[in-house]
């Protein structure tokens, strides 16, 4: 006997989709909670593929233009006007203590901290014109996130498989060692943390094997971020494909 599966109405499909986008019972957005956000990369590309044809300016100029726009708010002059010089290695806590402390102040993240990936006075256009591209990693904003008591945070990157690791070659990170300072946390939300500037980690790939697709994975390492949860393969990490074409 064949049991036919009941066909869902258009209304049911719409309701299920709405619940997937935002589930008020579990407080999940797209199947995830506010404590399970992952990482993102810039330049923002379709399917997380960073493909560069070194000799074809048009293939990478779009990436350069996106990065110029993305990094503009990080200009040192803008940061000096809007944000504070904070003490390294300490959370920038701003409790209300019974009186509304609004808006919250934010710590400076200056573009110059990105070193050879800052794009400042850079004739190589973030390395895209020479086949040594910079990719920027940022963590999604998570309200009231703490890395852990007196714990540091950093981003690490590697090839997903042995052959990827071999083809990936060497790379450097800015700030050094992919460090994300504690002073950028906690984040109090868009409404209260008006000028909050998300910290970034830039990865400059120095000698990727040309004409080969390389699978790269970057992870955020912090005590309060689980990166090995099989139920959420994107928690605390991002995977993307990198290909440098040379003739």
Judge whether 177 lies within some domain.
yes
pLDDT surpassing 50 at residue 1? no
Judge whether 117 lies within some domain.
yes
What local confidence, expressed as pLDDT, does residue 195 receive?
93
Judge whether 26 lies within some domain.
no
Phi, psi of 26 (to 5 degrees): -105, -5
- For the stretch 36-63, pLDDT in tens is 457 899 999 888 999 999 999 999 999 9
- Count of the separate structural domains present in the chain: 1
Sign, CA dihedral 74-75-76-77, equals negative
pTM of the entire structure? 0.82
CA distance from start to end of the chain:
62
Judge whether 140 lies within some domain.
yes
For residue 61, give its domain range.
Answer: 39-245
pLDDT surpassing 90 at residue 99? no
Judge whether 93 lies within some domain.
yes
pLDDT surpassing 60 at residue 199? yes
- For the stretch 143-166, pLDDT in tens is 999 887 767 899 999 999 999 999
- For the stretch 87-98, pLDDT in tens is 999 999 998 877
What local confidence, expressed as pLDDT, does residue 8 receive?
57
pLDDT surpassing 70 at residue 17? no
Residues ≥6 apart with Cβ < 8 Å to 57: 129
Judge whether 20 lies within some domain.
no
What local confidence, expressed as pLDDT, does residue 76 receive?
98
- Which CATH number is 138's domain given? 2.60.40.1660
Contact 136, 128 (CB under 8 A): no
Write down the H helix ranges in 134-224: 162-168
Judge whether 28 lies within some domain.
no
């Amino acid at each position: 006997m064949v049991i036919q599966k009941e066909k869902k109405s258009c209304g049911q499909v719409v309701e299920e989709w709405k619940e997937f986008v935002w589930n008020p019972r579990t407080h999940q957005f797209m199947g995830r909670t506010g404590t399970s956000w992952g990482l993102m990369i810039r330049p923002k590309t379709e399917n997380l593929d960073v493909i560069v044809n070194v000799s074809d300016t048009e293939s990478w100029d779009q990436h350069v233009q996106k990065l110029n726009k993305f990094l503009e708010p990080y200009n040192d002059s803008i940061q000096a006007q809007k944000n504070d010089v904070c003490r390294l290695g300490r959370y920038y806590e701003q409790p209300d203590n019974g009186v509304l402390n609004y808006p919250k102040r934010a710590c400076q993240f200056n573009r110059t901290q990105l070193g050879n990936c800052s794009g400042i006075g850079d004739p190589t256009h973030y390395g895209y014109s020479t086949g040594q591209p910079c990719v920027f990693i940022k963590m999604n904003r998570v309200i009231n996130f703490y890395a852990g008591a007196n714990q540091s945070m950093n981003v690490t990157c590697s090839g997903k498989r042995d052959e990827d690791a071999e083809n990936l070659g060497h790379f450097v990170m800015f700030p050094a060692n992919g460090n994300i300072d504690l002073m950028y946390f906690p984040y109090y939300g868009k409404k209260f943390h008006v000028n909050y500037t998300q910290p970034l980690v830039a990865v400059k790939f120095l000698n990727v094997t040309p004409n080969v697709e390389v699978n790269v994975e970057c992870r955020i390492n912090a005590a309060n971020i689980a990166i090995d949860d099989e139920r959420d393969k994107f928690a605390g990490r991002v995977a993307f494909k990198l290909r440098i074409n040379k003739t």
